[in-house]
Every structure is written in structure tokens, then in C-alpha cells.
Amino acid sequence: MVSAETLTIAALLIAPGVIAILIGITLGVVEKDVSRDQLYLTSFVSSIGIDVVFIWIAQWRWGMTITDRVAIETVFFGDEQFNVGAAALLFVLSCLLGVIYGIGLTYNVSHYFREKMAFFRSHRRNPWQPWEGSLRDAEEVMVELKNGDDVIGMLAEYSRVEKERQIVLQSPQFLDFEDSPNREKIIIPENEIALVHVMTTQERKGVWNRGKAFLSRSKGSVQGLLLQSNDDYSDEG
């Protein structure tokens, strides 16, 4: 008969992958429905990775060699009490992997590798439908409406994942009206859209480029503060 300790350890070793996947899906704002098979398989593989790292740290932290199930039970239930530190370590590793998944989904790391692999191909495959792939890098767009009007503005939002196609324009301007009222934003539903023109695009910055830009701005701010302090000191002198 399976003991309660064995069942607890099995849950502790399987749950980390599920926790990591759920955190990654939440942080990465995954809008597509994830199938049960994909969730189970990804969670299982993630649990294996987390458990390997956990066992490696546990051997170093508690000075024991883990070679079988009994040794793992000793880690969690040694000295006749539950090792809260081991469970906390397992939870932290799960959260860290979940954050890594979330960052990868947010910055679309898989698309980056697809682009690198597509460099050796003569044809480019877009992982999105044309609607999402074209608007992904769009900055300024012009929308031809079915009633014959044209409206231009900065792209604020657009629908994704095979939902009703809607576009949100910021600071829109109707080209057919000279005295159009000032609007902050306008939502254009799918049944009003006849054609979409991408006027300008913007370069998408990855994590590394965003980090460099942030450091550059921080460096400039610090230098500005230092110069201002020197000027104030000179004036006082």
C-alpha cells in the first residue's frame, strides 16, 4: 500500500511543473486555449527539469546523496518532521521557471528563433494569420470604412487569436472631414472595416535592447543630475 509520505512527495514533485506553466500562461497573457494534452505534457517536462535542479541543490545544501525514493523522502521528512525549507525551495524554483516562461511568451522568443532559422529558407513562414502578423509591427494605420470614409491614426490595439477583428486608433483623424471633432481613441468594429493600410511600422525591441535603452536613459539622468549639482555648487561658491 502506498504511504501518505510517498503520495505527498509525488505531489510535490509533479506540482512544480503545473505551477510554472500556470504562472507562465498568466504573465505571458496567453489568449489561445491550451489543450489538456499540451498542458499535461509541458507540465510533466517542466517538473522533470525543476526536480533535477532541486535534487542538485538539495544534495549540496543538506549534504546527502540522493539516489532513490527513500533518499527523497528523507529530504522532506527527515528528523521526523516536514522540511519546510525543501518545499519552499521547490516552490521558488517553480516560480522562477514560470517567470522565465512568461518572459519568453511576452517577448515571443520562439518567433525570434523562427526568424533565425528562416534565414536559411527561400520562403518565409509567418506563425500568425495575416491580420495579426501585419499589425504586429504597425505604428500608424489608415482604415477605409465600408461607408467610404477614411480614418488615420496611431494603432493602439487590435484583436487577436481569431476573435472579431477590431482596431483601436489613438488620435484618429477622418480625412474626408475638415472639422472632425477631437477624439482620444476610436474603436472600429469588423463590420465597418473595408481595408487597412499600414502607413508606418516600428521596430520591436527585445529584452536585451530594452535593457540597454533603460541603462542609457538612467545614465543620462544621472549625468544630468551631476551636472546640475555642479552648477548649483558653482553658483553657491
Closest alpha carbon to 58 in 44, 77, 47, 72: 72
Question: Closest Cα to residue 61, out of 80, 78, 81?
Answer: 78
Question: Residue 145's beta-bridge partner residues?
Answer: 193
Residue 213 pLDDT: 52
Q: Residues 187-215: what's their mean pLDDT?
A: 74
Higher pLDDT, 186 or 236: 186
Instruction: Report pLDDT for 124.
Output: 56
- For residues 68, 73, 74, 80, the Cα torsion angle rounded to the nearest 10 degrees is -160
111, amino acid identity: H
Of the listed ranges 10-14, 189-193, 194-198, 204-208, the one predicted with least confidence:
204-208
Answer yes or no: is pLDDT of 110 > 60. yes
- Is the pLDDT assigned to residue 236 strictly greater than 60? no
Task: Look up cell 518532521; give the residue.
Answer: 81
Q: Do the Cβ atoms of 174 and 153 come closer than 8 Å?
A: no
Within the chain, all domains assigned CATH 2.30.30.100 are found at 130-201
Q: What is the DSSP letter of 11?
A: H
In angstroms, the CA 89 to CA 10 distance is 16
Distance CA 108, CA 111 (A): 5
- The amino acid at residue 134 is S
Quickly name the fold that domain 130-201 has.
SH3 type barrels. (2.30.30)
How high does pLDDT run on average in the chain?
78
Percentage of the chain exceeding pLDDT 90:
25
Nearest to 170 by CA among 200, 140, 195: 140
Of residues 18 and 83, the one with the higher pLDDT is: 18
Q: How confident is the model at residue 123 (pLDDT cuts 50, 70, 90)?
A: low
Residue 121: pLDDT over 70: no
The predicted structure's pLDDT at residue 2 = 57
In the predicted structure, residue 227 carries a pLDDT above the cut 70: no
Q: What is the pTM of this model?
A: 0.62
Q: Map residue 221 onto helix, strand or coil.
A: helix
Above 90 in pLDDT, residue 114? no
Helices 4-27, 69-77: axis angle to 10 degrees equals 80
**Per-residue confidence (pLDDT) for residue 222, from 0 to 100:** 52
Comparing C-alpha atoms, which of 71, 86, 112 is closest to residue 12? 86
